[in-house]
Structure 1
């Protein structure tokens, strides 16, 4: 007996199983379900599940000019921010009847250019970019061919495109205002190497600007490599110079983790030295007495990126000027920004 051959069920077989026309099944899988009655939609859906039918989106795009695919280029898929934003993107794509193709560059500009070509070959209808390098020329060529683009988190100044991300100046303002209100007077802004990453640049510059405007505060800013003992040595030297009360403002989650480890290694308790991180991570509530963070609305950012792409795909959307959509963070105050009570602060019996 010969082994059974594996093949994919056809759209015609789904139509026969559902007692529907081939046109109705095409509408069901082609984003026109609202033109079908609820009963017919249910029959087609049940027939497709029974037969294990999956539409060939690439072939559909080649035939009809619409792939129903959106692409996303991610600088580092291991980053918790990237994962959270992608979740919002995928949810929005699914709700709108689109599939999502994700390419991870691993912060490698050469890999980034390769993945851009790959995504274009799949005929994505729009592209969201969390840039690792400066692929301005490649993206300008795509935009000139009519491909809608949205920059997520990281801007490319020479590229006229929609932008979605955090209001970085506001985030730094909120952090400094909170630390100042809690009584911290000496501030250290700690970042990963700033380089060309626009969020790091914006946070770095806003910190310097605020210190120049606040005579009651003094501080420093540094962007060391996070490996080895560099962060611990930097913190030790800063605290020796600045004295107390001092606090560390961390530019992202990776820096918050490195600073937490360094403070623990130095035997310093959180709160005695203030610690505030931009980006909320699951473990921040678990490290006693809890780490104060500024949480980004990551799912909202992801959904907004999809919405802006779809607005471009609608009739007339291409004529709209670039839109810049910035979101506010949410302060989650915990014990790491609460100075220990002094003898003068304690109530007398």
Structure 2
């Protein structure tokens, strides 16, 4: 037989409203003796509140939804850690969904979250659902975007300084004598990190007084195999082969390494390589990979804290932008000798 709040009240010798207040952490005028007695009875009877019913009554479920664009990318594992840890510390549960870069699915997921009465949403947007994003803002629904800007809309955002990250990676290669650096980036399509990394690449060259060669910028559709085939094509041209590659995505980096291997070349003896996003496997590659490291855990932590502020109406309601700073982790793939390695 299911234990009810009335059972707890009866066994503790208090009213149902007293039990309800103590469950919600609102101890009010209750003595410590009463609080301890109620909590003891709850434990003894193994009482489990109906969270859905409580949520419908209070219009708050203590559940947050997060929609990410591509869960296959290991970058998001640390972001999720930051979000989940922060939610748990603040008494919230987390529902995780993957839009897989599909705007129709993204819209369906947002509507599904709203039907489930989540208190707020964190989203790495596809940036292809302007009407959806505007409707969330107009309804004043608690909503925080991460990583990607939604151009033309003032919303809470936690992102990285992707221009600075790209500048750090490319300037490092230039300082170590690289003259022809190929840039690999997925088709931008108004995705701000990709646009910013292209800008950072160009800025690094400009800072050193070097001309930007369009032939070295490879913008590639996000489909399996296209990056590898492009790498094989450009490295097979002995006359115009670049001496370094700057990869702007960790999934892309794996394909680049496959392509280099398949044409019979070696990193860093034949070509230097710098990637983007530190992962658990970066240091275990042969040679270990130089990467632009992003504070991904902090991104998730800050986004969750901001969303909880909006949900609980605690603090400034005007949209805020948090821009986190990356750093370069230097390893042997860029051509630096092991004994010279340091973190820039």
Provide the TM-score with structure 1 as the length reference.
Answer: 0.84
Task: Assess if the C-alpha contact under 8 Å between 1:85 and 1:298 holds in 2.
Answer: yes
**Distance in 1 between the 2:29 and 2:144 partners?**
31
1:324 to 321, 324, 332: 321
Task: Assess if the C-alpha contact under 8 Å between 2:231 and 2:259 holds in 1.
Answer: no
* In the alignment, structure 1 residue 221 sits paired with structure 2 residue 221: no
**Distance in 2 between the 1:15 and 1:136 partners?**
50
**Distance in 2 between the 1:131 and 1:75 partners?**
7
**Distance in 1 between the 2:245 and 2:45 partners?**
59
Task: Assess if the C-alpha contact under 8 Å between 2:162 and 2:197 holds in 1.
Answer: yes
1:88 corresponds to? 82
Q: Would the alpha carbon gap of residues 290 and 16 (structure 1) be closer, same or farther in structure 2, given more than 3 Å must change? A: farther
Q: Is the partner of 2:149 in helix, strand or coil?
A: coil
Pairs within 5 Å for 1:294-313: 294-313=292-311
Q: Is the partner of 1:258 in helix, strand or coil?
A: helix
* In the alignment, structure 1 residue 101 sits paired with structure 2 residue 99: no
* In the alignment, structure 1 residue 287 sits paired with structure 2 residue 285: yes
* In the alignment, structure 1 residue 269 sits paired with structure 2 residue 266: yes
Q: Would the alpha carbon gap of residues 44 and 230 (structure 1) be closer, same or farther in structure 2, given more than 3 Å must change? A: same
Gaps of 5+ in 2: 339-344
2:341 corresponds to? none
Q: Is the partner of 2:65 in helix, strand or coil?
A: strand
Q: Would the alpha carbon gap of residues 277 and 16 (structure 1) be closer, same or farther in structure 2, given more than 3 Å must change? A: farther
1:254 corresponds to? 251
* In the alignment, structure 1 residue 193 sits paired with structure 2 residue 190: no
Provide the TM-score with structure 2 as the length reference.
Answer: 0.85
Gaps of 5+ in 1: 1-6, 342-349
Q: Is the partner of 2:194 in helix, strand or coil?
A: helix
Tell me the C-alpha RMSD between the 2 structures.
Answer: 2.9
**Distance in 2 between the 1:241 and 1:26 partners?**
77
Q: Would the alpha carbon gap of residues 330 and 57 (structure 1) be closer, same or farther in structure 2, given more than 3 Å must change? A: farther
Q: Is the partner of 1:195 in helix, strand or coil?
A: coil
